Chains A and B, each alone.
Chain A
Amino acid sequence: MVLKKTLSILATTTLAVGILAGCSGGQKNDTANNGGNGGGGGGSNVIKIATQSPLSGGSATLGESIKLGAQLALEEQQANFEKLGFKLELVPYDDQGDPKKGVANAQLIGADKQVFGVVGHLNSGVAIPSSEIYEKYSIPMVSPANTATDVTDRGLKTVNRICARDDFQGPAGAKFAVETLGAKKIFIIQDKTAYGTGLAEAFKKGAEELGAQILGFEGITVGEKDFNGVLNQVLAKKPDLIYFGGLYTEGGLLIKQARDKGINVPIMGGDGLDSSTLVQIAGDAVKNTYMTSAAGLATATDAGKQFAEKYKQKFGKEIESYSAYGYDAMGVLLKGLENAIKANGNKLPTRQQVAEEVRKVQDYQGVVTKVSFDEKGDNKYAKIYIYKFDEAKYPAKLENEVSKQ
């Protein structure tokens, strides 16, 4: 009885607080609107930029680095936008690497009238359905990390990316494997996700065209820890290179278990392996592992080194591969936003205007890459970088870079 009463009081209180909170929220919006009108503009002067990346789950290391990079860029630009009369705010969303969650977040982002852009996602499988929603609401998205071809091939006006495409990463990897490493017999393992299979197939096609023999094309299950079964096949077929299409969690274990079995041939993978966690998992076994990445080594330039220092200072963490891309993606987005504001006579632009201006950005110099979008939203300056682990240390050594032309 007492319990029931307590519960009902609790429920009533929650409801009351909820209603009050709702009211106050509404009021705040109103005052903001009034302020904006008084200042001679239309609408509010708060501009929110969302990030969407996995902040929990298996790829949280990479997802968080995108968010932190974007956060740094946004905070640096805050003063600049203050002068234009706008207050910049970051709203981070956690897409959990899950398409359903990504789309649900995208709906929330679309419904929030103050959001004028999205930096994200990490996973192409999440970016593709979510971007359909952004297109509906005309919110420009700048992707730091999505390499799947379908991200831009659908011809959406709002979707842009600053990294390279998979149909370039796979063949670039294959070219390096066959021509530089001299691999003739290749065994391919993939993790059955859109990213892993797509990358592995692009690599397979590229390698076959260059005359290499594919000994096997096998799948593993994400979340499992024992890959000895597949590795026994590798052991029996004796390839001179193993290619893995997938992420670092499985990749690290695969590398470790392969070395434990005495498979000492080079192992190559895509940008999904590009994380310090890979080195933690595989330990010393990571030696003789190659990876292609759409992410350049940020610390190769002075601007990049400064960025890495600022990042370390602010967040107490070393940069990850996509930290600088998160930073540059936000930079490009804000550049487009600034242009749109200026083109609109220092008044709040519409989302369409922002999206158009973002697409028009040419020769933006970021810390890790130069950005010019083509008519599809791909970056003309995107490159593929090839890294090698010589010792159990992250980041890996840059071996080679392949540009588009």
Chain B
Amino acid sequence: MINEVLHTLPQVLIDGLTLGAVYAIVALGYTMVYGILELINFAHGEIFMTGAFVGTAILLTFAGFGWLASMPALVALVLVLVVTSVVTGLLGMGIERVAYRPLRNAPKLITLITAIGVSFLLQDIVRFIAELKNGNYILTGPSLFSGQIGIKVSSISSIFNDASVKSSFFIVLIVAVIMMVTLDFFVNKTKWGMAMRAVAQDRETAALMSVNVNKVIALTFFIGSALGGATGVLFAIQYGTIDPYIGFILGLKAFTAAVLGGIGNIRGAMFGGILIGIMEMFAAANLPVISHGVLGAEYKDVFAFAILIIVLIFKPEGLFGKVSVEKV
């Protein structure tokens, strides 16, 4: 039994890391906004989805003009990532300005419902535009980085099977790591990052210390949404096909990852995302083996969420959360 699990382990880890990296960056968006506003921004999953669509639309336009073939794939990727981040970043700021700022002093529940409303709105707007332009809202973008790389893990130890990797896996992982490291640096080492942490700790006092609270909150939404949108592009490149409903399930799991890591904690969100991704992939591949066929792969979410519950029972503030001391 252990042998069977070990055989597939390299491949499971690779697939889990890819999925986990996506969860992790989306989780960052939830955690940043929560840290500052104590608002669960349920529209974040939809911002991720919008990013995927914007990115795919740009790629399709490039392909339509024949530019895609003439430019190196990496350049195209960077270009698409930057444009998409700016678009979704501005979208996030706009949502904050229109839907959340007028309600900032209202009870928390009201903003939560607004967030759910915004998320439905985004889903249907994107669906409408995609259907109008494409006749079908399930969109398949041009494939970049679709090469296969075999990793001979079996040469390390015969117990492992060989794994194979799409080259987009490296792109997803590298871009994700760059984004996470940059964000961590930004929040912990720069002046604006300090302002963000100050607002997270105490909004009124920060305002008294001449921090422009509105600007800081807008910036938080911009960064969170830009990261979410960029992740959408990565997702579209890795999985190829997107529809307006990808944000829902993924957003839910990313939110879970944020809670698992300790909501409000950026490093916690990264760790939680990767953990949930690997856990889910491990369960999908190995549950039937471990349970002797009683539980099928369809129970992977039950497995991942059971672990979440166990963690929260013993550590309610999450793995990395400190009990309401540092929140960003």
Complexed CA–CA distance, A224 and B251 (Å): 12
Nearest opposing residue in chain B for A190, CB measure: B298
B161 touches A236 (CB 8 A): yes
Report if B148 contacts A (CB, 8 A): yes
Task: Please state if B8 and A232 are interface contacts (CB–CB under 8 Å).
Answer: yes
Q: Say yes or no: is A16 at the interface (Cβ < 8 Å to chain B).
A: no
A18 within 8 Å of B by Cβ? no
Contact B281 A256 (CB under 8 A): no
- Do the beta carbons of B240 and A256 come within 8 Å of each other? yes
Given contacts A229-B12, A232-B284, contact A281 B240 (CB under 8 A): yes
Tell me the nearest residue of chain A to B134, going by C-beta.
A280
Contact of B297 among A58, A218, A226 (CB under 8 A): A218
B140 neighbours in A (Cβ, 8 Å)? 280-281, 283
Residues of B within 8 A of A225 (CB): 235, 239, 241-242, 246, 250
Question: Is B281 a contact of A228 with CB atoms below 8 Å?
Answer: yes
Q: A61 near B: Cβ within 8 Å?
A: yes
Q: How large is the interface on A (under 10, 10 to 19, 20 to 34, 35 or more residues)?
A: 20 to 34
> Chain B residues with Cβ under 8 A from A236's Cβ?
4, 7-8, 161, 285
By a CB distance below 8 angstroms, the chain B residues around A221 are 249, 298, 301
Q: How far is the CB of A286 from chain B (nearest CB, A)?
A: 12
CA distance A228 to B235 in the complex (A): 14
Given the known A-B contacts A61-B136, A281-B240, are A226 and B296 also in contact in the complex, defined by CB atoms under 8 Å?
A: no
Contact partner of B283 among A217, A229, A256, A317, CB < 8 A?
A229
In the complex, are the beta carbons of A230 and B240 less than 8 A apart?
no
Q: Does A25 have its Cβ within 8 Å of any Cβ on chain B?
A: no
The residues of A that contact B201 with a CB separation of less than 8 Å are none
State how many angstroms separate the Cβ of A322 from the closest Cβ of chain B.
16
Q: Which residues of A contact B288 (CB under 8 A)?
A: 216, 218, 233
A219 CB-CB contact with B under 8 Å: yes
B131 to A, closest residue via Cβ: A60
A61-B136, A253-B241 known; A260 and B166 CB under 8 Å?
A: yes
* A397: B residues at CB distance < 8 A: none
Interface size in chain B (residues, C-beta < 8 A): 41
Instruction: Write the chain B residue with the least CB distance to A248.
Output: B138
A229–B285 touching, CB < 8 Å: yes
Nearest B residue to A57, CB-CB: B245
Q: Are A229 and B15 in contact (CB-based, < 8 A)? A: yes
- The residue that A226 contacts in the complex, of B7, B15, B136, B164, with Cβ under 8 A, is B15
Known: A235-B11, A236-B8, A283-B143. A223 touches B249 (CB 8 A): yes
Instruction: State whether B296 touches A219 (Cβ < 8 A).
Output: yes
Counting CB contacts under 8 A, is A262 at the interface? Answer: yes
Closest to B7 in A: A236
- Chain A residues whose C-beta falls within 8 Å of the C-beta of B283 in the assembled complex: 229
User: In this complex, what residue of B is CB-closest to A220?
Assistant: B298
Interface string of B100-139 (1 = CB under 8 A from A): 0000000000000000000000000000000000011110
**Is B300 interfacial (CB-CB < 8 Å)?**
yes
Which of A218, A252, A317 is within 8 Å of B241, CB to CB?
A: A252
Q: Is B280 engaged at the interface, CB distance under 8 Å to the other chain?
A: yes
| Contact yes or no, B285 A233, CB < 8 A | yes
Chain A nearest CB from B8 CB (Å) reads: 5
| Chain B residues, CB < 8 A from A262 | 148, 164
Given A232-B284, A233-B285, A277-B136, A219–B297 Cβ distance below 8 Å? yes
Of B8, B135, B138, B248, which one neighbours A235 at CB under 8 angstroms? B8
Per the bound structure, the CA–CA distance linking A256 and B143 in Å amounts to 12
- Identify which of residues 190-225 in chain A touch chain B, using a CB-to-CB cut-off of 8 Å: 192, 216-221, 223-225
Bound state CA distance, A404 and B15, in angstroms? 44
> Knowing A252-B241, A260-B148 touch, does A233 contact B297 (C-beta < 8 A)?
yes
CB distance from A311 to the nearest CB of B (A): 15
Does A154 sit within 8 A of B, measured CB to CB? no
Contact B241 A220 (CB under 8 A): no
Any B CB within 8 A of the CB of A160: no
**A123 interfacial contact with B, CB 8 Å:** no
Which of B161, B240, B283 has the most chain A CB atoms inside 10 A of its CB?
B240
A→B interface (CB under 8 Å): 58, 60-61, 192, 216-221, 223-226, 228-230, 232-233, 235-236, 249, 252-253, 256-257, 260-262, 277, 280-281, 283, 317
CB within 8 Å of A: which residues of B?
A: 4, 7-8, 11-12, 15, 19, 135-138, 140, 143, 146, 148, 161, 164, 166, 235, 239-243, 245-246, 248-250, 280-285, 288, 296-298, 300-301
The 9 closest A-B pairs by CB, nearest first: A229-B284, A219-B298, A228-B15, A232-B285, A218-B297, A281-B241, A230-B297, A229-B281, A225-B239
Q: Can you list 9 A-B pairs with a CB-CB distance of less than 8 A?
A: A225-B235, A229-B280, A229-B281, A230-B285, A230-B297, A232-B12, A260-B148, A280-B138, A281-B241
